[in-house]
Structure 1
């Protein structure tokens, strides 16, 4: 499938590393050069590099480039490979409890910042990157307001997986692209509960947000599968008609 194209490119880059074309310590060619070499987009190259960084084969250094590591030991903080559904279930568990804890300790200053982020998420002219950044800051602020360092650490790691794993990022993008107003309302309900210090309501509001997100993911997955079945059916029909014409 097209959304897994980066995996094939990652395999090809790995093969070149194994063959010594890109030995440990060397800097990979730039995204544009690699895109031309493999006949894919720069986005696909970037996703392949992120995947290889997660495996410990590459090190991406902002402003410097992408370097081949020795590949002997994967980084101890490399996140596990999970689906968007698994990640969202985990986020629901931890972030719902973080919201419940934050309700009793959150400061007026943090609430004011959450209101600002709500406005950004609800803007019609807000691009996907700005909306996603506002969404991330929103959730991490609530995690920080919980005051529980273990919970804060876990939620930060979950967000790292949310942003670094290409397939997870792609799934979130497919369901969040047109839900700006809905997402804003759900987040506003969370803020309302936090503002009145209601731990139970904050927990429920956060959980409802993630339940809706999980349902949207299921719908998106079902739609992709139906589209794929239709494509295959159309190809089969075309082959049948072509064979019939040749008889």
Structure 2
């Protein structure tokens, strides 16, 4: 466990050097031996750190050649481009990913992180509907759990999953319809997840997170069906008006 935390620490320090411009895109990183000396760790730790950086697309490992810094795909805002998707696709992925993150976090979460999670739930309870404060508290809760896994790749994926949640218009529209009526469920389910993490029970943490997203999937389905009905009514009303106008002219 200690070595796992160590390679994440080293990966973050290498990432900071890349982001600071010390190693620009296309640059070859120093060899394992040199980095091991620099960070005072084993070459195995360096290798694991580089693998985690390759997993998030920041370096490329070329066998027999070395490790090279990659230029990440960027949008105009400097962040990776988001693919088109539905709210259901995103929520299914979050169910799979965040359930396992919760199970892992349960084995290593600190008392300080537990206290921060409690604060987010208090803020969630005080917020109403789809308020900005409630959204921020919800985001912080899920990011804190991912951070508790002590894995930089998990944090990267979580950040971009949340971007999909808040930046893709089709996803935002369905989530917005759910969140207005969903605040009571949201608080209770997050409390259940927190209690599982407090007990340091990975199976319980996985189960409560899965239940949270399974219930959310049902709510998203209901919201999508209602939106589809309303859209059909609007189209029907528009067609009726056009038909009546055409009938009057003839």
Equivalent pairs, count: 178
CA deviation digits over 1:136-194, x for unaligned, max 9?
11000000111233222211221122222232222222211221111000100000111
- Select which of 164, 167, 173 maps to 2:167: 164
Shift of 1:126: 7.3
- Is 1:211 the equivalent of 2:214? yes
Partner of 1:138: 141
- Select which of 224, 231, 237 maps to 2:234: 231
Structure 2, unaligned runs of 5 or more: 1-72
Q: Describe the SS at the equivalent of 1:106.
A: coil
Partner of 1:178: 181
State the alpha-carbon separation in 1 of the partners of residues 160 and 148 from structure 2.
17
Shift of 1:244: 4.4
Query: After superposition, where does 1:10-49 map in structure 2 within 5 Å?
Result: none
- Is 1:151 the equivalent of 2:151? no
Shift of 1:199: 0.7
State the alpha-carbon separation in 1 of the partners of residues 248 and 160 from structure 2.
58
State the alpha-carbon separation in 1 of the partners of residues 108 and 77 from structure 2.
39
Q: Please, what is the CA RMSD of the aligned residues?
A: 2.2
Contact 1:171–1:217 under 8 Å retained in 2: yes
Q: Describe the SS at the equivalent of 1:235.
A: helix
- Is 1:188 the equivalent of 2:195? no
- Is 1:128 the equivalent of 2:131? yes
State the alpha-carbon separation in 2 of the partners of residues 170 and 225 from structure 1.
12
- Select which of 70, 86, 91 maps to 1:88: 91
Shift of 1:219: 1.0
Q: 1:214 to 1:125 in 2, by over 3 A?
A: closer
Q: 1:236 to 1:169 in 2, by over 3 A?
A: closer
Contact 1:120–1:126 under 8 Å retained in 2: no
Calculate the TM-score normalised by the size of structure 2. Answer: 0.65
Shift of 1:59: 4.1
Partner of 2:31: none
Q: 1:236 to 1:157 in 2, by over 3 A?
A: closer
State the alpha-carbon separation in 2 of the partners of residues 80 and 188 from structure 1.
32
Shift of 1:122: 1.3
